[in-house]
């Protein structure tokens, strides 16, 4: 059973993720980005699911903080799945080197697939903003 840290200041995010992942993983709710690093130091975390829009330290800043702490040898690697709000956020998620992202509203099926892929060591990108292929005529 994987330990998944969920950081969001929106209670509905915690509720949706807990409902979608209940029974398969241990869910650790965190109220905001500033608490994530300490939670990672205090316990083994396999995946951090971070809401992009959180108080004074959002998902991108939290992702970068975790990567900087890892590169400094102060914490072990923690995979990150970002919950995005809009198309422009995809660029930022890629630049922050998150292992994956989902675009809200959250689909429970996509969430479970993303978690499964990331825990298996793969990346996951939500295809919600992928352009449709042009049909040749």
* Burial class of residue 87 in the structure, from the number of CB atoms within 10 Å of its CB (0-12 exposed, 13-18 middle, 19+ buried): exposed
Domain with 123, as residue range(s), is 3-129
Average pLDDT, the chain: 92
Encode pLDDT of 17-75 as tens digits.
999 998 889 999 999 889 999 999 999 999 999 999 998 899 999 999 999 999 999 99
- pTM: predicted TM-score of the whole model, two decimal places: 0.92
> Is 60 exceeded by the pLDDT of residue 137?
no
Rounded to an integer, what distance in angstroms lies between the CA atom of residue 61 and that of residue 83?
13
Task: Give the CATH number, domain containing residue 82.
Answer: 3.40.50.2300
Domain count for the chain, please give it. 1
Going by C-alpha positions, the residue among 81, 117, 114 that lies closest to residue 6 is: 81
Query: Is residue 137 in a domain?
Result: no
Query: Is residue 135 in a domain?
Result: no
């Amino acid at each position: 059973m994987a330990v998944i840290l969920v950081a969001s200041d929106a209670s509905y995010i915690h509720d949706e993720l807990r409902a979608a992942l209940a029974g398969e993983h241990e869910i650790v709710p965190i109220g905001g980005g500033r608490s994530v690093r300490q939670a990672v130091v205090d316990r083994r975390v396999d995946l951090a699911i971070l809401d992009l829009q959180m108080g004074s330290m959002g998902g991108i800043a939290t992702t970068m903080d975790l990567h900087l702490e890892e590169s400094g040898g102060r914490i072990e690697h923690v995979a990150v799945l970002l919950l995005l709000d809009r198309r422009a956020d995809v660029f930022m998620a890629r630049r922050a080197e998150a292992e994956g992202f989902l675009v809200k509203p959250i689909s429970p099926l996509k969430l479970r697939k993303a978690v499964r892929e990331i825990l298996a060591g793969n990346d996951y990108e939500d295809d919600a903003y992928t352009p449709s292929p042009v049909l040749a005529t």
